[in-house]
Amino acid sequence: MAQIKKSSSRILGIDPGTNILGFAVIEVERDKIDVLEIGVLHLKDKGEHTDKLKEIFLEIQEIIERYLPQELAIEAPFFGKNVQSMLKLGRAQGVAMAAGMTMGLTITEYSPKKVKQSVTGNGNAAKEQVADMLCRMLNIEPGKFALDATDALSVAVCHHYQAGRPVSSKKGGWGKFLKENPDRVKWAVGSWQLAVGSWQLAVKCFSSKNILLYKN
């Protein structure tokens, strides 16, 4: 179990998905962000949809137990034409949120546009642009992690920004980064809202053998 410094805070960022779920844990101390872990959960071969939901719940709880974050930030599902895909994505997000809530974390939801705006200054930025900005900011090797993982990292960083905690990169600080990239960084500090979406399915009970899901 990880030890948390009294002066730091930890945020778990999640990019929900039913085939691939991205996650990232960051530690913020004063004006610096450290990436503790970043990766993805591969769920495509986990069987039925309920099996995938169970895997998400258990894996997220394991990550929480390992790093002890105080907050969970998650990206809201985007609206698409495929209703069934939207429902499945909403369930995956709800299960991830439930995993965090049962572990005592505060939960905050951000729209994809808000995340992109916070990290790159452009709410319509491509995933590759978001990943590139994060690599520059946090001294991460470009192309090392899947885009789903860097998306999760961007959600965690967005939450940090919205909580009013400016950050520096590892290479000389945030002020230096701003000077070197004046046209690429634009973010605003504001009050953040706790928003938990209302989904058609909510997690009622998890056990080692099954998942029971109930409609609202």
Residue burial 113-131, b: 16+ Cβ < 10 Å; e: rest: ebbbbbbbbeeebebeebb
Catalytic one of 71, 75, 109, 132: 75
The tens place of each residue's pLDDT in the chain, 216 residues long, gives 555 665 589 999 999 999 999 999 999 998 799 999 999 999 999 989 999 999 999 999 999 999 999 999 999 987 666 788 888 999 999 999 999 999 999 999 999 999 999 999 999 999 999 999 999 999 999 999 999 999 999 999 999 999 865 444 444 433 444 455 444 333 322 222 322 333 333 334 344 333 333 333
Q: Which helix (H) or strand (E) holds 26?
A: strand 20-29
120, amino acid identity: T
In order of their start, the domains of the chain are 8-215 (3.30.420.10)
pLDDT for 5-35, tens place per residue? Answer: 655 899 999 999 999 999 999 999 987 999 9
Catalytic status, residue 34: no
pTM of the entire predicted model: 0.74
Closest CA to 169 of 192, 138, 201: 138
Catalytic one of 15, 27, 109, 132: 15
pLDDT for the residue numbered 164: 66
Number of H helices, E strands in the chain: 6, 7
Which backbone phi and psi does 95 adopt, to 5 degrees?
A: -65, -45
CA 115, 16, 18 angle in degrees (round to 5)?
Answer: 150
Catalytic one of 27, 55, 71, 148: 148
Rg (C-alpha) for the chain, rounded Å, is 17
Catalytic status, residue 141: no
Q: Which helix (H) or strand (E) holds 13?
A: strand 8-15
Catalytic status, residue 65: no
